[in-house]
């Protein structure tokens, strides 16, 4: 069974920048926070429209893409 991605890209929202489904929060914001050494909780505190489950699912999707055999 295939699940619906938590990451969406819509040309009408931020010019097609990949965002968390149902928000205008770019997924790269999460990556930027983590890269800067901030915690997931800090990201979620600053972007309350993103659910913890969605942030974790986005990271899992990215991991699956980056670690899948080519």
Residue-range domain boundaries for the chain = 7-67
| pLDDT at residue 66 greater than cutoff 90 | no
pLDDT confidence bin for 1, thresholds 50/70/90: low
Q: What is the pTM of this model?
A: 0.86
Query: Rounded to the nearest 5°, which phi and psi values hold at 7?
Result: -105, 125
Please tell me the distance from the alpha carbon of residue 51 to that of residue 4, in angstroms, as a whole number.
15
> What fold, for 7-67?
Arc Repressor Mutant, subunit A (1.10.10)
pLDDT, one tens digit per residue, over 4-36 is 899 999 999 999 999 999 999 999 999 999 999
């Amino acid at each position: 069974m295939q699940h619906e991605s938590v990451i969406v890209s819509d040309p009408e929202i931020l010019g097609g920048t990949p965002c968390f489904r149902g928000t205008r929060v770019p997924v790269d914001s999460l990556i930027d926070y983590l890269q800067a050494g901030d915690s997931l909780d800090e990201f979620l505190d600053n972007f309350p429209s993103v659910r913890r489950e969605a942030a974790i699912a986005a990271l899992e999707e990215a991991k699956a893409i980056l670690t899948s055999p080519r």
